[in-house]
A and B are shown apart, each in its own frame.
Chain A
Amino acid sequence: MENKEPLSPHIQIYRWHISSLVSISHRITGIINIIAITLICLWVSLLFLGENNYEIINLFLSSQIGKFIILALTWSFSFQTLSEIRHLIMDLGYGFELKITKIISLSVIFGSVILTIILYLVGKNFI
Chain B
Amino acid sequence: MVQINLPKNSQVRKGRYFKDKTGSKNLRKVNIYRWDPSSGENPRIDTYEVDMDNCPSKVLDILNKIKNEIDSTIAYRRSCAHGVCGSCAMNMDGKNGLACTTSHKEIDGDIDIYPLPHLKVKKDLIGDLDGLYKQYKSIEPWLKSNSKSETKEIIQSKENREKLDGAYECIMCACCSTSCPSYWWNGDKYLGPAVLLQAYRWIVDSRDEERQARLKKVADELKLYRCHTILNCTSACPKGLNPAKAIAEIKKMLATTNI
A14-B117 contact given A7-B6, A9-B6, CB 8 Å threshold = yes
Given known contacts A5-B120, A8-B121, A10-B184, what 13 new A-B pairs fall within 8 Å (CB)?
Answer: A6-B42, A7-B118, A8-B33, A9-B33, A11-B184, A13-B114, A14-B117, A14-B179, A15-B93, A17-B232, A90-B248, A91-B251, A98-B235
Q: Which residues of B contact A91 (CB under 8 A)?
A: 248, 251-252
Q: For the complex of A and B, list the 10 residue pairs with the smallest distance between their C-beta atoms, beginning with the closest.
A: A15-B94, A6-B10, A10-B117, A96-B245, A19-B231, A10-B118, A5-B120, A8-B115, A7-B10, A23-B230
1/0 per residue A14-34: CB within 8 Å of B? 110101100110000000000
Q: Is B128 an interface residue (CB 8 A)?
A: yes
The reply to whether A93 and B252 form a contact with Cβ atoms under 8 Å apart is yes
Q: Counting CB contacts under 8 A, is B249 at the interface?
A: yes
Q: Which residues of chain B from 225 to 245 have any CB-CB distance to chain A below 8 Å in the complex?
A: 228-232, 234-235, 242, 244-245
- List the A side residues contacting B231 at CB < 8 Å: 17, 19-20, 23, 96, 98, 101
What total of chain B residues lie within 8 Å of the partner, measured CB to CB? Answer: 46
Asked if B230 contacts A97 (CB within 8 A), the reply is: no
CA distance A117 to B118 in the complex (A): 41
User: Is A64 among interface residues, defined by CB-CB distance under 8 A?
Assistant: no
Query: In the complex, A24 Cα to B180 Cα: how many Å?
Result: 13
What A residues does B4 contact at CB under 8 A?
A: 11
Smallest CB gap from A96: residue in B: B245
Chain A residues touching B, majority SS: loop
> What CA separation (Å) do A12 and B38 show in the bound complex?
25
Listed in ascending order, the chain B residues whose CB lies under 8 Å from chain A are: 4, 6-7, 9-10, 12, 33, 35, 37-38, 40, 42-43, 91, 93-95, 112, 114-122, 127-128, 179, 181, 184, 228-232, 234-235, 242, 244-245, 248-249, 251-252
Q: Which residues of A contact B43 (CB under 8 A)?
A: 6
* A13 vs B95: C-alpha distance when bound (angstroms): 8
Q: Inside 8 A of A5's CB, which chain B residues have their CB?
A: 37, 120-122, 128
Asked whether B234 lies within 8 Å of A4 as measured between CB atoms, the reply is: no
**A51 touches B (CB below 8 Å):** no
Known pairs A13-B112, A20-B232; A6 contacts B95 (CB<8 A): no
**Residue from A12, A14, A90, A97 having most chain B Cβ neighbours under 10 A:** A14
Closest beta carbon of chain B to A33's beta carbon, Å? 17
19 residue pairs of the A-B complex, CB under 8 angstroms, read A2-B40, A4-B9, A5-B37, A5-B120, A7-B10, A7-B120, A8-B120, A11-B117, A11-B181, A13-B91, A14-B94, A19-B229, A23-B229, A91-B251, A93-B248, A93-B249, A96-B244, A97-B242, A98-B234
